[in-house]
């Protein structure tokens, strides 16, 4: 993993939807900076000009100018634009417009203190049954390996491989406490909440190795709950799947 | 009215029912807890700047269950974080801002002899005190103090060590205290105003406390209920917040299940969002008083300010779920909450504009309190502006639960509220003690605090944009965090210097009690509001004769008068 890609800025973006989010962040920050500097200059000017001096008295009358109203109204209008023009459309796309499952890689991610379990359904696209009573040290997901649908399933710990340029749908859940599934370079973050199964989707546009972080305090090992994503070429991904299948049947 | 001569020390200073004594008790206890909460943070800042290295000198004082060999354990780090948040919010700022300033000043500013229910007032302080003792004691129980964050999200908090039970009992006591206090404030403001003091003649500080009291009254009961439910989950085997099928470290949890972890979050944030305004409104009130007094000019838009805080108070009840955008809520919900969040930013913009425009045309005195009040404006602006990318759901995705959030709300509550509260201490100190605090030390305290606070919190935005999660015991684990680790070192030095600078304040505070310059009149700042119409310090019962009010609170520099201020109670 190349760590020099990180620094005093947003992490690089490798997802299809991330560019729009980054753009929103940039727009908001330029707006904030402009407003702050404008206010700041006005404040400093006022403080200097109206400092207490011998022979000057304060005026009882208030400043009469339309300018403040105009500034307030333009702030409001700009916020409306940010909301309706940028934020709501981006959010709706990310949260509502899921790609068809048939064209996507669908996986389950089950968080637990303090690892990420990833469950691939295999070529049959069907997840084998899983049951909490089957959970053991070697079977963290509690998969029923006797279920025919489970024959080609793969369970992976902290290693999340998926192909580039193909949508990935993750069904996120948790076995114990609340965690948060965060992949900074993909602009993905979603709480993993026990008792809920929450879908997330994204599509990577660039290959590489990156980190999964847990973004919600989940106990004493919270900092160490680090996973890895590996965004592979389709061939690399095929090979990885084959390796995992082979390892499973040993 | 004054029978204080016959009272023993205990009756007079400890179990007093005089709002001023209770106010001072609140303020001093609050200041002590603020410093304590800050010390917890200074410890954490060692771990953040130099992860895993033993803390020199002080490190040796800690037990093996917290910092063996001076190296902080992650469970202790988590306790420190959770307790820092809890202590700062519930034991530091609110007691100082509402219990301290509110108690001392509201009856004086409305011309009342005391609060409406003096005994309830004392009961409120003692509930707070009990809550504080319970929270403090929790550091010494097995497993240490609560360690699930100040938000105490279940299931983590449901299965946490004993400290969490203490936290819950402490919270129940603190909430009870706030409820008793808020009822008292509301009745006092409605019923005990002096003759002639209509609502629209109230000093703005009183309005701020009035709205704050409603927030406390309406928002706290849901959290009290939630706290009791979590206690049941922990002690009585219920599962209000525990869904079925939980497996903790490989073993199924033996509870009936069927509960919802999100229920807690809704109840918690239904309180905790309005709570943010409880932290900020009294500060805005204080800043308004100081700015108007030092500008020698009426407030630019008194009614605009009043309507803005009323609107702010109301809206603060319909934005809570913007803390929960990442919990998987549907788009209808999230669009509603991001829209309300944008709307609530408007009154804040209006309030800032009013305060800045008040300065225009004034004759500005740069006193020590004025330094603090003026600094509040840009700090509050940064805090408010950085709320925008968090309130917009799309940009919240990468920023949620990162240091960006920590930077955002600290700009509101630390450089914002804390500076305002310090300003308030300098401003009303002469009323309470009859002496001024030293001006030179005050200015050193101001500049030191102002620079260090920015040195701590500004880099948090960089960390947050770089993607660094909050509540990280070992930040260097992640590559994107390692890349900004230098900022952590800088922030920690700023925090420790900030600690040293506070010693100047503490020294000044106590030395001025004996050595400070005596005030020459009861009204050293030449102010207009009623608290300055009392003797200094005000006796039990406050006013020598019942005051009557003839005009609005901020008649500064009215035309045709020789003096540049016209007190509310002066007939001519
Ligand atoms: C002035 C000095 C202060 C410093 C240096 C400071 C620093 C910090 C830092 C670095 C964190 C993040 C800890 C972590 O993520 O592990 C934090 C958390 C927090 N702080 Fe402060 N803070 C200060 C004052 C305040 C004040 C005045 C308040 C409230 C009124 C406050 C409320 C909180 C809360 C609620 C949290 C979140 C705790 C949690 O994660 O559960 N802080 N503070
Ligand atoms: Cu986790
Ligand atoms: Cu975690």
B333 touches A: beta carbon within 8 Å: no
Q: Which residue has the tokens 């010390």?
A: B39
Phi, psi dihedrals of residue B159, rounded to the nearest 5° = -105, 10
Contact B199, B216 (CB under 8 A): no
> Burial of A37 by CB count in 10 Å (0-12 exposed, 13-18 middle, 19+ buried)?
exposed
B85 C-beta closer than 6 A to ligand 1 = yes
For residue A221 the two structure tokens come to 């090992």
Q: What is the pLDDT of residues B379-399, one digit of tens each?
A: 999 999 999 999 999 999 999
pLDDT for residue B5 is more than 60: no
pLDDT band at A133 (very low <50, low <70, confident <90, very high): confident
What ipTM does this complex have?
0.95
**pLDDT above 70 as % of chain B:** 99
Whole-angstrom Cα Rg for chain B: 24
Token pair recorded at residue B429: 């100190």
Strands (E), A195-243: 198-203, 208-214, 227-232
Q: What is the pLDDT of residue A189?
A: 96
The alpha helices in B236-301, defined as continuous H runs, are: 261-295
Check whether B103 has a pLDDT greater than 80. Answer: yes
B342 → chain A, closest CA residue: A79
DSSP string of A123-189, one letter each residue: TTT-PPPB-GGG-BTTBTT-B-TTSGGGTT-EEEESEEEEETTSEEEEEEEESSS-EEEEEGGGTEE
Write down the pLDDT at residue B434: 95
Does the beta carbon of B414 lie inside 6 Å of ligand 1? yes
* Pairing assessment for the beta strands A227-232 and A188-192 based on DSSP bridges: unpaired
B68 lines ligand 1 (CB under 6 A): no
Question: What does the alpha-carbon distance between residue B469 and residue A179 come to, in Å, rounded to a whole number?
Answer: 12
Any CB–CB contact under 8 A between B398 and chain A?
A: yes
CB distance B496 to B42 below 8 Å: yes
Does any ligand 1 atom lie closer than 6 A to the CB of residue B408? Answer: no
Tell me the pLDDT band of A151, cut-offs 50, 70 and 90: confident
Between chain A and chain B, the number of residue pairs with CB atoms below 8 A apart is 281
- Cβ atoms of residues A35 and A72 within 8 Å: no
Q: Which of A243, A240, A244, A247 is nearest to A162 (CA)?
A: A240
Nearest atom in ligand 1 to the alpha carbon of residue B414 is: 27
Find the mean pLDDT for residues B298-323: 94
- Give the atom of ligand 1 at the shortest distance from the alpha carbon of B473: 16
Phi and psi torsions of B365, nearest 5°: -95, 125
Task: Read off the pLDDT of each residue in B511-528 and give the average, rounded to a whole number.
Answer: 95
Q: What pLDDT shows up at residue B201?
A: 96
Q: Tell me whether A48 touches chain B (CB under 8 Å).
A: no
* Residue A200, φ and ψ in degrees, nearest 5: -135, 145
Q: Tell me the mean pLDDT in the region B271-297.
A: 95
Least confident of A20-34, B326-340, B453-467: B326-340
Residue the block writes with tokens 């962040």: A25
The Cα angle at residue A15 between residues A12 and A17, in degrees rounded to 5 = 115
How many beta carbons lie within 10 A of that of residue B441, not counting itself?
Answer: 17
Any B CB within 8 A of A71 CB: yes
For position B451, what pLDDT does the model report?
98
Q: N- to C-terminal Cα distance for chain A?
A: 30
Round to whole Å and give the CA distance between B501 and B488. 20
Mean pLDDT for chain B overall:
94
Nearest to B159 by CA among B90, B261, B270, B272: B261
A221 contact residues in B (CB cutoff 8 A) = 74
- If you take atom 41 of ligand 1, which residue's CA is the nearest one? B149
pLDDT at position A250: 63
Question: To which H or E segment does residue A37 belong?
Answer: helix A18-49
Q: Is the separation of the CB atoms in B328 and A28 below 8 Å? A: no
Check pocket membership of B96 for ligand 1, CB cut-off 6 A. Answer: no
Q: State residue A118 phi and psi, 5-degree precision.
A: -120, 130
> Quick one: what percent of chain A has pLDDT higher than 90?
75
Residue B151 has pLDDT above 70, yes or no: yes
Q: Which residue of A has its CA nearest to B161?
A: A219
- pLDDT for the residue numbered B10: 81
Rounded to an integer, what distance in angstroms lies between the CA atom of residue B360 and that of residue B345?
Answer: 23
For ligand 1, whether the C-beta of B471 sits within 6 Å is yes
Cα–Cα distance measured from residue B296 to residue B564, given in angstroms and rounded to the nearest whole number: 7
Average pLDDT over residues B532-543: 93
Scan residues 83-102 of A and list those with Cβ closer than 8 Å to B: 83, 86-88, 90-92, 94-96
Whether A184 contacts chain B with CB within 8 A: yes
- Average pLDDT in the B183-198 region? 96
- Residue B394 CA, chain-centre distance (Å), reads 29
Report the alpha-carbon distance of residue A200 to residue A181 in Å, rounded: 10
Q: Name the residue at shortest CA distance from atom 6 of ligand 1.
A: B41
How does the average pLDDT of chain A come out, rounded?
92
Per residue in B53-90, pLDDT (tens digit) is: 999 988 889 998 999 999 999 999 999 999 999 999 99
**Beta strands A159-163 and A227-232, pairing class:** parallel
Supply the DSSP symbol for B457.
Answer: H
Q: Which of B130, B146, B159, B321 lies closest to B233, judged by CA?
A: B159
For residue B2, what pLDDT band results from cuts at 50, 70 and 90? very low
Q: Residues with Cβ < 8 Å from B272, sequence gap 6 or more?
A: B151, B223, B320, B323
Q: Which residues pair with A174 in a beta bridge?
A: A111
Residue B6 has pLDDT above 80, yes or no: no
Residues of B in contact with A68 (CB under 8 A): 353, 357
What the block records as the tokens of A192 is 């993993």
pLDDT at B153 over 50: yes
Q: Is the pTM of this model over 0.90?
A: yes
pLDDT of residue B9: 81
Q: Which two tokens stand for residue B2?
A: 């004054």
Report strand pairing: A115-120 vs A105-112: antiparallel
Residue B11 has what pLDDT? 80
pLDDT at residue A75 above 70?
yes
- Of A42, A53, A137, nearest to B250 by CB-CB distance is A137
Is 50 exceeded by the pLDDT of residue B1?
no
Number of Cα atoms under 13 Å in the Cβ half of residue A181: 33
φ and ψ of B244, to 5 deg: -75, 155
pLDDT in tens, B210-229: 999 999 999 999 999 999 99
> Across the interface, which of A63, A72, A91 has its CB nearest the CB of B360?
A63
CB contact under 8 A, B364 and A51: yes
């Amino acid at each position: 993993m190349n760590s020099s890609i990180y620094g005093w800025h947003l992490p690089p973006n490798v997802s299809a939807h991330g560019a729009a989010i980054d753009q929103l962040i940039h727009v908001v920050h330029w707006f904030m900076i402009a407003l702050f500097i404008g206010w700041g200059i006005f404040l400093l000017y006022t403080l200097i000009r109206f400092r207490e001096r011998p022979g000057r008295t304060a005026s009882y009358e208030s400043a009469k100018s339309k300018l403040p109203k105009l500034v307030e109204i333009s702030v409001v209008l700009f916020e409306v634009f940010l909301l309706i023009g940028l934020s709501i459309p981006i959010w709706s796309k990310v949260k509502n417009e899921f790609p068809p499952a048939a064209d996507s890689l669908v996986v389950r991610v089950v968080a637990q203190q303090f690892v990420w379990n990833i469950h691939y359904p295999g070529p049959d696209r069907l997840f084998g049954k899983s049951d909490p009573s089957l959970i053991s040290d070697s079977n963290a997901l509690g998969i029923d390996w006797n279920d025919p649908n489970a024959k080609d399933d793969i369970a992976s710990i902290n290693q999340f491989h998926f192909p580039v340029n193909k949508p990935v749908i993750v069904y996120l859940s948790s076995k114990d406490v609340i965690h948060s599934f965060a992949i900074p370079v993909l602009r993905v973050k979603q709480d993993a909440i026990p008792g809920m199964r929450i879908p997330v989707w994204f599509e990577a546009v660039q290959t590489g190795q990156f980190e999964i972080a847990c973004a919600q305090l989940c106990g004493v090992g919270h900092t160490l709950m680090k996973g890895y994503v590996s965004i592979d070429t389709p061939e690399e991904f095929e090979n990885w799947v084959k390796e995992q299948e082979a390892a499973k049947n040993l | 009215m004054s029978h204080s001569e016959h009272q023993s020390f205990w009756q007079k200073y400890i179990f007093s029912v005089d709002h001023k004594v209770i106010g001072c008790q609140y303020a001093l206890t609050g200041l002590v807890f603020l410093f304590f909460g800050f010390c917890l943070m200074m410890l954490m800042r060692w771990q953040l700047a130099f992860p895993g290295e033993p803390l020199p000198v002080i490190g040796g004082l800690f037990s093996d269950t917290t910092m063996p060999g001076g190296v902080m354990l992650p469970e202790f780090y988590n306790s420190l974080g959770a307790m820092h948040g809890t202590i700062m919010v519930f034991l530091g700022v609110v007691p100082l801002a509402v219990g301290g300033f509110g108690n001392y000043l509201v009856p004086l500013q409305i011309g009342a002899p005391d609060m409406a229910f003096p005994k309830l007032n004392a009961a409120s302080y003692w509930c707070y005190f009990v809550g504080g003792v319970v929270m403090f004691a929790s550091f010494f129980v097995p497993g240490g103090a609560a360690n699930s964050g100040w938000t105490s999200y279940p299931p983590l908090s449901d299965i946490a060590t004993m400290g969490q039970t203490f936290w819950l009992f402490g919270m129940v006591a603190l909430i009870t205290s706030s409820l008793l206090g808020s009822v008292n404030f509301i009745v006092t403001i409605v019923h005990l105003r002096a003759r002639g003091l209509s609502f629209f003649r109230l000093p703005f500080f009183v309005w701020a406390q009035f709205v704050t009291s409603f927030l406390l009254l309406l928002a706290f009961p849901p959290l009290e209920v939630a706290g009791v439910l979590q206690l049941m989950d922990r002690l009585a085997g219920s599962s209000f917040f525990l869904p079925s099928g939980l497996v903790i470290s490989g073993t199924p949890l033996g509870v009936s299940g069927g509960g919802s972890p999100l229920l807690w979050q809704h109840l918690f944030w239904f309180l905790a969002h309005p709570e943010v305004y409880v932290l900020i409104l009294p500060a805005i009130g204080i800043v308004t008083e100081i700015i108007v007094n030092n500008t020698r000019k009426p407030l630019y838009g008194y009614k605009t300010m009043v309507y803005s805080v009323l609107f702010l108070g109301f809206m603060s009840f319909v934005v809570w779920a913007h803390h929960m955008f990442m919990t998987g809520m549907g788009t209808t919900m999230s669009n509603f909450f991001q829209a309300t969040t944008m709307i609530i930013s408007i009154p804040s913009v209006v309030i800032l504009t009013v305060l800045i425009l008040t300065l225009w045309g004034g004759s500005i005195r740069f006193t020590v309190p004025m330094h603090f009040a003026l600094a509040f404006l840009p700090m509050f602006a940064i805090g408010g502006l950085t709320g925008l990318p968090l309130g917009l759901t799309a940009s919240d995705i990468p920023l949620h639960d990162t240091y960006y959030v920590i930077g955002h709300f600290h700009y509101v509550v630390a450089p914002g509220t804390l500076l305002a509260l310090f300003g308030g201490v300098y401003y009303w100190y002469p009323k309470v003690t009859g002496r001024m605090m030293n001006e030179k030390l005050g200015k050193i305290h101001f500049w030191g605090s102002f620079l260090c606070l920015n040195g701590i919190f500004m880099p948090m935005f960089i960390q947050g944009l770089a993607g660094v999660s909050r509540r990280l015991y070992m930040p260097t684990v992640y590559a994107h965090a390692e890349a900004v680790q230098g900022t952590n070192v800088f922030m920690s030095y700023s925090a420790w210097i900030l600690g040293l600078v506070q010693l100047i304040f503490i020294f000044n505070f106590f030395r001025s009690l004996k050595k400070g310059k005596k005030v020459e009149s009861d009204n050293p700042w030449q102010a207009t509001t009623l608290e300055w119409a009392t003797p200094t310090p005000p006796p039990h019962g406050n006013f020598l004769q019942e005051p009557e009010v003839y005009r609005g609170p901020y008649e500064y520099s009215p035309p045709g008068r020789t003096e540049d201020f016209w007190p509310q109670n002066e007939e001519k």
